[in-house]
Structure 1
Amino acid sequence: MRNLLFYQDVMIKEFTAQVLKTGVDGNRPYVVLSNTAFYPTGGGQPHDTGLINDIRVIDVEKVDDEIRHYTEKECNFTGEVRGYLDWERRFDHMQQHCGQHILTAAFVELFDIATVSFHLGSELVTIDLNTEHITDDQLALAEKRANEIILENRPIEIKWVSKDELSQYNLRKEVSVDEDIRLVIIPDYDYNGCGGTHPTSTGQVSSIKIMGTEKMKKITRVSFVCGNRVLNQLAMRKTVLSDVSKQLSVPEENAADALRKVLLSAKATEKALSEAQDTLLQYEAKELLESGENGIITAIFENRTVQTLQKLGRSIISLQDNAIALLVAQNEDKIQFIAARGSNIEISMKNVSSEVLPLINGKGGGNDAFVQGGGEKLISAQELLQHMIKQVIK
């Protein structure tokens, strides 16, 4: 492994090699070369992409003892070929991976909190910390320490060692292999076994910014970005903030307070509207009670939510203990209903729903006093209501 080009010279962007083998794995054509600068997926780091001659490499994997370069179309290469790395992608991965080492070491150094897993995504990088709780102050201090290490532009050293030599190094965690052990070292700061690619100095990481945290069972997931991704995130947030401030007609620095006031006003308006709607439903319930026959209140509506039907049904039976409310609404391609009884009625509303749900291929729920359901518009609202009435009368 140590003789592979991506380990010999991590900054190599182009190379030549001999074709050893071509083949097809399932429906994926691949090429095996005598040596390669294409890094295969592994150790939390995604694979490289690029070109072999003029054919695009879309995936790289280590399969047994060979590194397969999967190409977007079948190729019949022989002899010598030239490889070209997608350098922007590779350098981004190097920045993020090295930044992860630096930030992880900062949490260990400052708070003795270990990282239990790491993921390098296309937009964010995450580490899972072995703790249920982390404070904003701890996050800020870890980020500050990590950026100090970057600004010091410390060299990043690579050493291949034997298992017997490991005791000479203060490793952050135990290595998982017994031979071809590769150490990535930031002198006097971090010593770690790793097979990934890293820049040659911490300064090339440029910067680290923690973006957020998420609690997950007994661990805390920390999301962050490094290098050019910091600039990308800053640009995206700047665009969003500028748009919000323009819509609120305030300077960017006042956007948060202005948005908070808008949300508070919207909540107050929403509450007042809800109260007004409830009052109107009470009046509507009284009108429906007056039009009912034999204590059965029925109505069909267009484009009303089942939540509104539920409120209206409860209003009806709260006004009349001997009433039964059967309400149906048709909304585009759906049909919904509720069936409710007053406290003096013993008929089970579950019998109503079990009767009509199969007619609309529907689902529902509730209890003996109140049920609701909905399904496909396989019959008309009037037909559904008639089936509900028949079940009540029966």
Structure 2
Amino acid sequence: MTKKYYYEDAYLTTFETTISHQGQEEDGRWFVLLEQTAFYPTGGGQPFDEGVLNGIPVNNVEEVDGQVRHYIDNPFENPSANIKGEIDWNRRYDHMRQHSGQHILSAAFAEAHGYETISFHLGKEILTIDLDVAGMTEEEALQAEDLANKIIGEARPIETKWMTADEAATYPLRKQLSVAEDVRLVIIPGFDYNGCGGTHPRFTSEVGAIKILDWEKHKGHIRLQFVCGSRVLAQLHQKHQVIKELTGILQAPQDKMEEAAQQLLEKMKTQDKEMEEMKQKLLTYEAKELSLTAIAFAEGSTFMQKAYQNRPIQELQKLARQIISDHDEAVVFLAVQNGDKLQLVGAKGKQPDVHLKELAPKIFSMINGKGGGKEDFIQGGGEAALSPEELINHIQKLLL
């Protein structure tokens, strides 16, 4: 069995060892087992350590059937050589601070409100915990956050002890143990007692600070996002940069930014409404212009058409409907090429004895496309095998 230095000293960053086994998994990944290691494997919500073995990057660490496997891109040419391992300390220490911060925040929610943590995830930028509660107020979140930061400020020791399950049962455990023997208890005296296999600093003060960012309902629980330590400063810097940029864009100081944004949104809504009204007027004029080019093709019926390049199909749908609302006798076809796609809209008024849905298969087969609709309105598209003008000409021949 590999000797696990990360349980003896979480602050150890370099070590010397030898390879006890080098192997390759079925998926082709190479790994080594070491006589001793300081590399923490993924587990308990905490990600693995990164670092190097004799300068070779370790890109993953997993515990498989009790073996701590260190994954490398290529095998060691001389696996019997002495090995020097080096841990990426910044990553390890960040994980130590985040994980301990999670213990503290979870204990704070349990003590302040009786909300138990049912899952935990330590991500690259933020952490999440799922609380066994259906809803939560901002006041409740701030109360737990304040209590957590109070515990951090008191610089309480963070102790780890190995014991049996019976011995652990004498402590006020925050949650049920997941193992029956070789229990590792992480203790913040007078505050939190929790079975855990992760790495932790020596004092709560090393966590630095905790800041809750947001929360949402998730599968009947509350999923809460937060950060600890240097990630708090990173979040502050990121948000400060955004506020600085918005201050310039909105031409308003921070305390007036919300009001300025609301005013801008109202102005945009008004402009959007005016724009839609103008577009509708333009469509009305365009419909009148198209009616001047109408061709008679049956008793009391007229044919209107036009081809376009690079125009939203939604506009052509509105235009076609506008035309037939003004002209009961009209059959109208509008085609447009957008990139490598050819799209078509067809519509008819109440008078023409034409069934557009029956014509649709013939029309869309010309462009290897699909489309459909109703007797009086069809739409669809396909390949730009023809130009919009050529497609319209073919349709005109079908009708006339």
Please list, as runs of the form range in 1=range in 2, the aligned pairs for 1:135-154 lying within 5 A after superposition. Answer: 135-154=137-156
Q: Match of 2:364, as an amino acid?
A: L
- Deviation, 1:329, is 1.1
Q: How far, CA to CA, are the matches of 1:359 and 1:172 in structure 2?
A: 70
Per the alignment, residue 86 of structure 1 pairs with: 88
Per the alignment, residue 8 of structure 1 pairs with: 8
Per the alignment, residue 65 of structure 1 pairs with: 66
Secondary structure at the aligned position of 1:139 is classed as helix
Per the alignment, residue 119 of structure 1 pairs with: 121
Secondary structure at the aligned position of 1:11 is classed as coil
Distance change in 2, residues 1:71/1:267 (3 Å): same
Distance change in 2, residues 1:351/1:224 (3 Å): farther
Deviates more, 1:338-347 or 1:98-107: 338-347
Indicate yes or no: 2:97 matched with 1:95. Answer: yes
Name structure 1 gaps, 5 residues minimum. none
Indicate yes or no: 2:181 matched with 1:179. Answer: yes
Q: How far, CA to CA, are the matches of 1:314 and 1:74 in structure 2?
A: 69
Q: 1:128 aligns with which of 127, 130, 133?
A: 130
Q: How far, CA to CA, are the matches of 1:359 and 1:45 in structure 2?
A: 59
Distance change in 2, residues 1:84/1:303 (3 Å): same
Name structure 2 gaps, 5 residues minimum. 297-301
- Deviation, 1:4, is 1.3
- Give the TM-score normalised by structure 2: 0.91
Q: How far, CA to CA, are the matches of 2:391 and 2:334 in structure 1?
A: 10
Once the two structures are superposed, what CA deviation does each residue of 1:296-341 show, in whole Å capped at 9, x if it has no partner?
2211112110111111112112212332221111122222121223
Q: 2:264 aligns with which of 262, 265, 269?
A: 262
**Aligned residues of 2:2 and 2:37 also touching (Cα < 8 A):** no
Once the two structures are superposed, what CA deviation does each residue of 1:36-83 show, in whole Å capped at 9, x if it has no partner?
110011111111000112111111111223111112332233243211
**Aligned residues of 2:103 and 2:192 also touching (Cα < 8 A):** yes
- Deviation, 1:201, is 1.5
Per the alignment, residue 271 of structure 1 pairs with: 273
Q: 1:330 aligns with which of 337, 348, 354?
A: 337
Secondary structure at the aligned position of 2:181 is classed as coil
Q: Match of 1:170, as an amino acid?
A: P
Q: How far, CA to CA, are the matches of 2:200 and 2:349 in structure 1?
A: 72
Indicate yes or no: 2:380 matched with 1:373. Answer: yes
Once the two structures are superposed, what CA deviation does each residue of 1:324-370 show, in whole Å capped at 9, x if it has no partner?
22111112222212122334557444334433334434444644443
Indicate yes or no: 2:317 matched with 1:315. Answer: no
Q: Match of 2:160, as an amino acid?
A: I
Q: How far, CA to CA, are the matches of 1:10 and 1:266 in structure 2?
A: 55
Q: Match of 1:46, as an amino acid?
A: P
Q: Match of 2:295, as an amino acid?
A: E
- Deviation, 1:203, is 1.0
- Give the TM-score normalised by structure 1: 0.92
**Aligned residues of 1:339 and 1:352 also touching (Cα < 8 A):** no
Share of identical aligned residues, percent?
Answer: 45
Please list, as runs of the form range in 1=range in 2, the aligned pairs for 1:1-394 lying within 5 A after superposition. Answer: 4-25=4-25, 26-75=27-76, 76-294=78-296, 295-344=302-351, 347-364=354-371, 366-389=373-396, 393=399
Q: How far, CA to CA, are the matches of 1:157 and 1:2 in structure 2?
A: 23
Secondary structure at the aligned position of 2:292 is classed as helix
How many residues align structurally? 393
Q: How far, CA to CA, are the matches of 1:363 and 1:175 in structure 2?
A: 60
Q: How far, CA to CA, are the matches of 1:309 and 1:240 in structure 2?
A: 40
Q: How far, CA to CA, are the matches of 1:278 and 1:381 in structure 2?
A: 24
Per the alignment, residue 299 of structure 2 pairs with: none
**Aligned residues of 1:2 and 1:180 also touching (Cα < 8 A):** no
**Aligned residues of 2:12 and 2:38 also touching (Cα < 8 A):** yes
Q: How far, CA to CA, are the matches of 1:328 and 1:241 in structure 2?
A: 47
Distance change in 2, residues 1:110/1:384 (3 Å): farther
**Aligned residues of 2:2 and 2:35 also touching (Cα < 8 A):** no
Q: How far, CA to CA, are the matches of 1:140 and 1:272 in structure 2?
A: 44
- Deviation, 1:116, is 2.3
Secondary structure at the aligned position of 1:168 is classed as coil
- Deviation, 1:88, is 0.4
Q: How far, CA to CA, are the matches of 1:108 and 1:324 in structure 2?
A: 71
**Aligned residues of 2:2 and 2:34 also touching (Cα < 8 A):** no
**Aligned residues of 2:107 and 2:191 also touching (Cα < 8 A):** yes
Q: How far, CA to CA, are the matches of 1:290 and 1:258 in structure 2?
A: 48
Q: How far, CA to CA, are the matches of 1:133 and 1:139 in structure 2?
A: 11
- Deviation, 1:34, is 0.6
- Deviation, 1:2, is 10
**Aligned residues of 2:2 and 2:36 also touching (Cα < 8 A):** no
Q: How far, CA to CA, are the matches of 1:143 and 1:183 in structure 2?
A: 24
Secondary structure at the aligned position of 2:75 is classed as coil
- Deviation, 1:111, is 2.1
Q: How far, CA to CA, are the matches of 1:35 and 1:110 in structure 2?
A: 42
Q: How far, CA to CA, are the matches of 2:152 and 2:393 in structure 1?
A: 75
